[in-house]
Structure 1
Amino acid sequence: MALPFRDVNVQHASDSYIFSSPSSPNAPALLIDRPTGDIRLSDASLLAGKRVSRVTSIAGILGVIRLRLDKYVVLITKAKPVGKLCGHTVYKVVATELLPLRERQISDPDEDRFLALLRGFIRDGPMYFSYTLDLTNSFQRQAQQDAAVPLWKRADDRFFWNRFLQSDLINFRNQGARGFPAPQPGIDPYILPVIFGMLEIHPTTFSGTPLTLALITRRSRYRAGTRYFTRGLDEEGHAANYNETEQILVLNDNNASGYASGAGTSKAGEHKEMQILSYVQTRGSVPAFWAEINTLKYTPKLQIRAIEAAYPAARAHFEEQVRLYGDNYLVNLVNQKGREMPVKHAYEKMVQMLTNNTGVEHIQADQHTDEKFRTIETAGNSRSSIANRLHYIYFDFHAETKGLQMHRAQLLIDRMRDALLAQQYFRAVDMPGSRQLSAAPGLPRLEIRSLQTSVVRTNCMDCLDRTNVVQSLLARWTLDRMLSDLGLLPRGARFADADPAFENLFRNIWADNADVVSKAYSGTGAMKTDLTRTGKRTKAGALQDLRVALTRYCKNNFTDGPRQDAFDLFLGEYVPVAAGTPSISVMGGGGIGGYDVFADRRPVWIQAVPYIAAFGAFFVMVALYTPRVSDKAIWPLRLATIFWALVAVWGFWFVMSNGMLYVNWPKLNPRPWATEGYHETIRRVRKDRILGPLVARHERGLSTARYVNAEEGKKRIE
């Protein structure tokens, strides 16, 4: 089995970067040629006398990425251990370095911006890895895999976050070098899978019994992005903000601390079986083609395409979900009234189409809302089709918990009790002496006691706040069941009553999960975390939610464009075109990557309006707080103040009325609805009595920009 190297040295030579492992002197060294980027393996002993400028010790190779002018090797220069899970040490990426393959001789604004996006994204993104444990797969999937297969080949493609960056290494592994087509298994230890999301490991005790509680949320690399720029499904059936969350409970984990390194030793009398129990849930955007369009209004415009158009994508999505998890219980938490109502109806119509319109609907009501639960169950007993494996459950979360009555969310768990009992959870035992010494030294052979046979897929509009509350309730119910099955908790009892300290740990780990998932998608921490952390909805928590809501408004309108660009760049959704290939698009960016991709090409007067309005407001403030002037000057000052006050009011009105022009949109992959809205707004502005005559009928300098780009491209080719 080829596990990733724990220690890698990088030798910086003039013609290549040389990677080798000091602890594995017989392993081949990896060479990345400069400046071509060609990859090859070589005997490390043959490179001993090679002249190098410096040697650096790193934690691993995140990957290789090509930008406009050059390729860069992305190194993990610092990793922090965050804990041990089943004896395997897990690390968080702390610091990285981008090594260029050539010395840049020219200045390029696009290249600098690309590098800034990458560095900021990697710095802020919570990424985790392990040299010996497959973090991309749940324990249930791991137990059914061949542990002798290299770690990266076992990785779940959905959660292999740096898969695009590892493409060069993987292609070389599968195809070999040019002119020498042959698999190269020697590169396997240099390929390190990384996940993006939330991971916490807490060794603790429950009623005096040592155990480990862990929570892992894996974010899918497909259709990843920011809140208002990534909604619904894509054409391939990938859902926005899709996350798999696994709650893990390990008993006697302390006895497994040796096997990750292959020691396999422990003190006499400590050979107790290690038990692993895990429960998996998923969340993902409503499976339809829909979007919320930013216009600087607090409530974005909702756009839903025809449900029939999204049917193939939704079917592909749920076919994958059923294949991976079994039956899917689709818990929908969006509001049944107001602006969210069309999304609810779209989801239900999609489910009915997927179930071939054979579903039997059951509706329960109570005094709080006309429709508390809406359950769509399929008819028939056949289990061969997804039509018989989707179970839709609607719960109006906001209506049911109105007035800080958050305890009423438990009604959903009561309603799903039979389904939760039937789905089970994963449980396996690592018996002493069951190590697979021949196939995979140091790794356990798990004896499976039970499998989780279905999954609960929860969503609200954003799959953040309400979703996390409900997922924590499901996790709590299952954890009570796990502890009872282990004999640590009486049947029918709750761990919250038995061990307050453990209850506090549980609440905080799920609140941390809410914040991490929310920050990655919306740019802020989650709402309703007071409920998750304390079990109560408080007025202080409501005020905190107000602050979060206002912060989200600012970030989603003014800073999420570059964040979405960073997602697209890192994950390979946008590939920069080499210098010399000009391309211009509306919205101030390049559609496929040309000179000044990030330049703002809105008409200059459109750009100037916010500054003019701000100056007008500044002048009014100065005039109001200026000491009293002479009678001769007071009327001119008043007239000037009134004039600039009107200018400020008009300016702010203009910005809010034409918000499409002032949202910070993604520039690498412009959204179709943004492009359409931009053109429509520009056409409307041209009819404006004040600015209309000043705004050109075409994008500022568009023809000239094409010519300049072509000329600059010729100069930039090296």
Structure 2
Amino acid sequence: MTLPFRDINVQTASDAYIFTSPSSPNAPALAIDRPTGDIRLLDASLLSGKRVSRITSIAGILGVIQLRLGELLYDGCGGFGCEELVTDYGCEDKYIIVITKAQPVGRLRGHMVYKVVSTDILPLRERQVSDPDEDRFLNLLRGFIKPGPMYFSYSVDITNSFQRQAQQDAESPLWKRADDRFFWNRFIQSDLINFRNSGGRGQPAPQPNIDPYILPVIFGMLEIHPTTFKGTPLTIALISRRSRHRAGTRYFTRGLDDQGHAANYNETEQVVILNDHTTGLGGSSWQQQQKSSSLADGVGKEMQILSYVQTRGSVPAYWAEINTLKYTPKIQIRAIEAAYPAAKAHFDEQIRIYGDNYLVNLVNQKGREVPVKEAYEKVVEMLVSRPKEHVQGDQRTDEKFHTIETAEKKSQFDRLHYIYFDFHAETKGLQMHRAQLLIDRMREALVAQQYFRASVDSTPGNNNKTDGGRLDVRSLQTSVVRTNCMDCLDRTNVVQSMLARWTLDRMFIDLGLLARGSRFADEDAAFELMFRNMWADNADVVSNAYSGTGAMKTDLTRTGKRTKAGALQDGNVAVTRYCKNNFLDGPRQDAFDLFLGVYQPSVGGGLVFVDRRPVLIQAVPYIAAFGLFFVLMGMYSPRLPDAAVWPMRLFILFWTGVTGWALWFIFNNGMLYVNWPKLNPRPWATEGYHETISRVRKDKILGPLVARHERGLSVARYINAEEGKKRIE
């Protein structure tokens, strides 16, 4: 089996970047030519006499990305005659993104897992002139990669659950085994993968020797805790893998795309490993672990792996929330019939991968969330053969539970089981313990779905270093719970942690660590605290990636009860989300689209980041700021004892009126002041802009001035929007 190189040196030359592995001197060197980006494999022994400017040690290659075509940057090619130069030399702006520092997180089954700590971007062409758009693209990439929680391993496939790992060919290269949904850097690895599959200039055949340079990375949350439970040593890990499909920010990415990919889709796996004695950061080899396992106390002497998988994802329909600077955006839902093919594709994949799907819906049954709830139910009714509905209510609510099952199983979509639970109504008044009603309702399904359990086959001939021993499967998880609320963040994480807790109790009972009917929370307080904090950390990481803030209701996850302090913290989170989602999320969405290949600058136009709103529209926030400044200056500036009062009062009243009008204008025309994505403008943003600007033209104060000075800017600004809309369609 071919594994990625653990150590790579980068030699920087004037004509190429050359990558070699010091620990594998006989392996071919990888050369990426400058400035063309052509990829070649070289005999490493022939590089000794090559002149290089510097040699750098890196942890891996994240990928290669092209930002602009040469034709858009002809000045950088020398001006006159540049067209010929572009044709001959492929004057492209490509960059190699390398991992310069990785931090060990812990060991899973003896394999070390790392977190990406720092990266560097290596240009293939030195630009002679500054290009504002190119600089903006680079800043987006750096700002996206730096805080992004990305993880990788050189020897174990963390893109796949342990159950899927057990069903794979362990001899294939690590990147080929990776789950395409969670192979986060798949797009920027395209150049290396294409060269591997079909070769390149001078090397037209497939090139399997490049496999060790291709390193799959996941985006999400990963914690590994070597610990004990009632004196029994074990390792517990939590892994949340975010899908690279339809990834983005909270209000700009909702529902499904045409391929059936759901927004904010995450697979979360809770793993328990017993008799794993290589869990420290130092660790030892797998063979040493097998020898030391004979000294273990507790349940057996063989390594045992138990895992439980859940998923979350946006409501599978075509819907959006449209920012207008109001606290609660307007919900827009397209016809369910239009979303049927996408929903069918989505659940076809979910059933193929996970088996039966229990669809837990936690949105509100009253207020603005009702259309989303109804859309989900209509989708399920269209998919199952003979939908059979059951509604249960009580004195708290008329619809505590709403289930949709099939009356008879005729198609694969009859493996969908819809369960609506009125989370907010049941937990109102800080009574979060009532969420346990959902677990009680699902008990039979949870018992039937099982969990994955395997032992490591340590028989002679199977204990090779590369895979650490084969998995001897004892039981498989046969279904999955797919949970959602509006954002798939706060309510979702509370319910997922409760499902994980219930299953962990069951695992410990099956292992003989707990008596039947007992709960681990009552047996080991330290383990309980660690479990709570691990799931609260998961809530914060998933929420930060989508909404820009930590999760709400984490006081319940961390302490086990809802508190007033936690409610106040939720208020702070809500205000922060409002500000970020309206004024900062546009560039964040652009960064997602750029890194994941949803937007490719090589096929886009120039000056995409220019603000083409009429100048007077852009000036209104500044007028409000200046007006507020003059009001405060007038109120708090010291005055002479004999100074007249009325002139200052009139001054303050005038600027108060100006400030009030400016704020009224901003919030009454909020579509013009939301920080929208510029690389792939949303169709509803385009439509809303045109509607709002048409209304502004009728404004008694600014209308005539705007109409006079627009100069066709609305058409110029939304050329890229229409291109983005066509790509989406």
Q: So what's the TM-score if we normalise by structure 1? A: 0.94
Asked if 2 retains the 8 angstrom alpha-carbon contact of 1:297 and 1:656, the reply is: yes
Partner of 1:363 in structure 2? 391
Could you say what secondary structure the match of 1:269 adopts? Answer: helix
Report what 1:3 is aligned to.
Answer: 3
Q: Of residues 170, 178, 194 in structure 2, which corresponds to 1:155? A: 178
2:112 is aligned with 1:125: no
- How far 1:97 moved relative to its partner? 0.3
- SS of aligned partner of 1:515: helix
Structure 2 matches for 1:493-642, cutoff 5 A? 493-577=518-602, 593-629=604-640, 633-642=644-653
In structure 2, C-alpha distance between the alignment counterparts of 1:335 and 1:635, rounded to whole Å: 54
**For residues 596 and 151 of structure 1, what CA distance do their matches in structure 2 show?**
40
Q: What corresponds to 1:73 in structure 2?
A: 96
Give the one of 81, 88, 108 matched to 1:85: 108
User: Which amino acid in 2 is paired with 1:338?
Assistant: G
Contact 2:287 2:463 in 1 (8 A): no
Residue among 295, 316, 326 paired with 2:324: 295
How far residue 102 of structure 1 moved from its aligned partner, in angstroms, is 1.2
* Distance apart, 1:486 and its partner CA: 0.5
The answer to whether the 8 Å contact 1:327/1:453 transfers is yes
| Deviation readout 1:614-656 (Å, 9 max, x if unpaired) | 1111111111112345666432222222111100000000000
Q: Which stretch of the first structure deviates more once superposed, 490-499 or 255-264?
A: 255-264
TM-score, normalised to structure 2's length?
Answer: 0.92
Q: d(CA) in 2 for partners of 1:559 and 1:3?
A: 40
1:335/1:705 CA distance change after superposition, 3 Å: closer
Q: Per the alignment, in what secondary structure is the counterpart of residue 459 of structure 2?
A: coil
Secondary structure of the 1:254 match is coil
C-alpha distance in 2 between matches for 1:527 and 1:434: 51
1:13 aligns with 13
Deviations along 1:549-576, whole A, 9 cap, x unmatched? 0000000000000000000000000000
CA contact (8 A) 2:109 2:468 kept: no
CA distance in 2, matches of 1:343, 1:260: 52
Give SS of 2:486's match: coil
Give the equivalent residue in structure 1 for 2:237. 214
Mean Cα displacement is larger for which, 259-268 or 45-54? Answer: 259-268
> Residues 40 and 203 of structure 2 are in contact (CA less than 8 Å); yes or no, is this contact kept in structure 1?
no
CA distance in 2, matches of 1:203, 1:59: 25
Specify which of 639, 662, 668 is matched with residue 673 of structure 2.
662
Amino acid at match of 2:339: A
1:365 is displaced (CA, Å) by 1.3
Offset, 1:96: 0.2
Conserved? CA contact 1:318–1:386, under 8 Å: no
For residues 244-259 of structure 1, the aligned pairs below 5 Å read: 244-254=267-277
The amino acid that maps onto 2:666 is V
Report the counterpart of residue 674 of structure 1 in structure 2: 685
Amino acid at match of 2:145: I
C-alpha distance 86-48 of structure 1, shift in aligned 2 (>3 A): same
* Whole-angstrom CA distance in 1 between matches of 2:526 and 2:460: 34
Query: Alpha-carbon deviation of 1:701?
Result: 6.4
Give the gaps of 5 or more residues in structure 2.
Answer: 69-91, 721-729
* Equivalent position amino acid for 2:340 in 1: Y
Q: Distance in 2 between matches of 1:402 and 1:121?
A: 37
**Does 2:261 correspond to 1:229?**
no
Distance 1:332 1:698 in 2: 49
1:238 corresponds to 2:261: yes
**How far apart are the structure 2 equivalents of 1:662 and 1:345?**
31
1:649 aligns with 2:663: no
Equivalent-residue separation in structure 2 for 1:699 and 1:274 (angstroms): 70
Q: Is the Cα–Cα contact under 8 Å of residues 435 and 441 in structure 1 kept in the other structure?
A: no
Question: Which of residues 395, 398, 407 in structure 1 aligns to 2:421?
Answer: 395
CA distance in 1, matches of 2:393, 2:289: 58
- Displacement, 1:433? 2.9
Aligned match of 1:716 = none
User: What are the equivalent positions in structure 2 for 1:100-115 lying under 5 Å apart?
Assistant: 100-115=123-138
Equivalent residue of 1:205, what SS? strand
Report Cα offsets for 1:393-438 as digits up to 9, x if no partner.
0000000000111000000000000000000000000143366357
Distance in structure 1 (CA, Å) of the matches to 2:630 and 2:136: 35
Of 299, 308, 332, which residue of structure 2 is paired with 1:279?
A: 308
Displacement of 1:147 in angstroms is 0.6
User: Which residue of 2 is the match for residue 586 of structure 1?
Assistant: none
3-state SS, counterpart of residue 80 of structure 1: strand
Pick one of 167, 188, 194 that aligns with 1:144.
167
Give 1:179 shift. 5.1
Alignment partners' CA distance in 2, 1:529 and 1:241: 19
Q: Deviations over 1:193-247 (max 9, x none)?
A: 0000000000000000000010000000000000000000000000000000000
* Match of residue 73 from structure 2: none
Q: Secondary structure at the match of 1:655?
A: helix
Please give the alpha-carbon distance, in whole angstroms, between the structure 1 residues aligned to 2:390 and 2:358: 15
Looking at structure 1, the residues matched to 554 and 25 of structure 2 have their Cα atoms a distance apart, in angstroms, of 50
| Whole-angstrom CA distance in 2 between matches of 1:703 and 1:425 | 56
Query: Equivalent of 1:190, from 204, 210, 213?
Result: 213
Aligned AA (1:499): D
Equivalent pair of 1:511/1:532 in contact (CA under 8 Å): yes
Corresponding letter in the other structure for 2:614: P
CA-CA distance at 1:468 after TM superposition: 0.1
Aligned to 2:84: none
* Matched residue type, 2:94: K
Superposition pairs of residues 472-511 of structure 1, within 5 angstroms: 472-511=497-536
**Conserved 8 A contact 2:151-2:218:** yes
AA at the equivalent of 1:51: R
1:64 aligns with: 64
- The letter for the 2-side match of 1:518 is S
- Output the CA distance in 1 between the equivalents of 2:317 and 2:265: 14
1:379 counterpart (407, 421, 426):
407
Match of 1:712 in 2: none
User: Structure 1: how far apart are the matches of 2:186 and 2:636?
Assistant: 59
